[in-house]
Structure 1
């Protein structure tokens, strides 16, 4: 659905925001792009809808080179791409219903047809009773739901999300991400989600790319990126999110390993079984049990002492992956 080939973007003054970016996003998937502030994430997403033009390379959306479009062709393409923003971008002087209807009015949709579409969208995002209200009367989560409804107004094939949950509290973030996941499943939308929040990617994304200083340093499935990161930048981002590996415990007297498992293994008493089998003692030094979209996973930093620690490490390997 989306393909970036050797994309570069240089701004006036010589600043290079993107450099040689190659990416593909499959139709119907949720693709996450993570990175620190200044990594080039927002520039990348603005290239997808033609708000910026690449200095080098090509941005292909559903077979069309975005940089080659202008006028009516560019407007038609943009109607197929919805956008939701960190700060909502709502018109304060318009009601919720008017905000959602705004793209339809620009597109020349007849008033009756637009009203029916607005009612349908407000129902989908859970705001059927709020159409008459103004943005100032809404919570942050409700404002973002209005923004999502507005992004869906023209029936897009692609939804772009630029840090859409960064201004929300954790509970509201989960609700908004659940809505985005529902839209992906129910409407078959292709979603590109820009964020610096690791939990956002874990909850909804199928695949993810890590952006650093304008370059893609790693890309792959969410499970591969989070459970077996290869790039130093990815490992640094995970460490900043509170995930510590063996190197964080230099004073532990025994062996330290990182054990990763997923799926049905999460519900099994693996550590107890291995301890009984090998006589090894386990200390859980750090770790996380959670979900990567639809699958449970666990990643624990374990300290081993006593008994046959080598046999214990081998036994852990039968239930997951062990790394030093």
Structure 2
């Protein structure tokens, strides 16, 4: 049997592929097709690219800072110009911070990275995805104010006022003592709302979400101090497979990959760290809220010139 050339293999786009869930997912997906690696660090992208190529796979690096709308638009144009047989997208790139910061556009960095950038990238690529393609958003149970582990960790669920308010770093009162936690939870609530709204509005594609579980030592903990990062990596991470709601990058990557490659036709499903359907917060499940998030996000992004 003749081996398919890189341009004949199905191509899957993965954001944030240089560490944690994204890195492991890139390696898994590379077993099934070409991986378009979308990340902000050219050097790290090249390392992942070489790792995949050495393993017999094929990858294409595309430099993109998903917190920067101009960078997202350039990346989307570059991806479509590759003229690869695109078959799916994983919006994995994300950050978490304990303190609030701003990006170059003056937007809350976490909200821009986790929601605005992935939203813009998805909308730019949707016309180029074939019918039946899967779009996967990596979400988080931190968006749900009723999810006990998240509450214990200091989260108070999504605090959405509007897309504009979120971009300014403003949240409903009663939130976390860490402003960055409100930003993270709200961005993930918006991710989940977007998945559900897109699933209803665009039935030719399949939109699903994955809660990968808490994984100590991943890139999301980069804002923690050195002691906590070492504790997460060397003490807590080995215990993750045995604790409810926890996981590892390798195991979560298999869940994400299975959802990405699933051809069963399911859409609008939220999967937990063990591939079981789960429910998001009451607000994220409300179609009116879902549509409002999408409409307000589009309106906000339209104010930024191309």
TM-score (norm 2): 0.28
Please identify which structure carries the higher strand content.
1
Question: Which one has a bigger Cα radius of gyration?
Answer: 1
Please identify which structure carries the higher helix content.
2
